[in-house]
Amino acid sequence: MNKDEMEYIKKGSNFSKVIRTEILFTPLLIIFPLIVGIFLIHNWFDKGLDPAYNGSLLLGITIIIGNIVFDIPFIKSLRELSKKNKK
């Protein structure tokens, strides 16, 4: 974001409330996809490693890997932004 966009966010709405809302939703954004991915993998395992349920395995692994790939940078950016706002 450039300087003008940041000023618009600060003036248009309360910037700290936006960050606080994102921080409050972070556990939900991280934990819920992990639970769903683990459930799908567990479902595949319970079915006896049946090849007919390989879609469930693939979907579970994709959800978990995608969650890890996108959530780590998201958490890092939230930390940096919250540190920047405290200064």
Instruction: Determine the length of the chain.
Output: 87
At 51 the pLDDT is 86
- Decide: 46 and 38 in contact? Cβ < 8 Å: no
pLDDT of 85 over the 70 cut? no
pTM for the model stands at 0.69
Report the alpha-carbon distance of residue 79 to residue 87 in Å, rounded. Answer: 13
What are residue 84's phi and psi, to 5 degrees?
-65, -35
Which tokens is 40 given?
């799908």
Query: What is the rounded average pLDDT of the residues 18-45?
Result: 88
Report the alpha-carbon distance of residue 72 to residue 1 in Å, rounded. Answer: 20
* pLDDT tens digits for range 1-30: 666 666 655 555 566 677 777 788 888 888
At 81 the pLDDT is 78
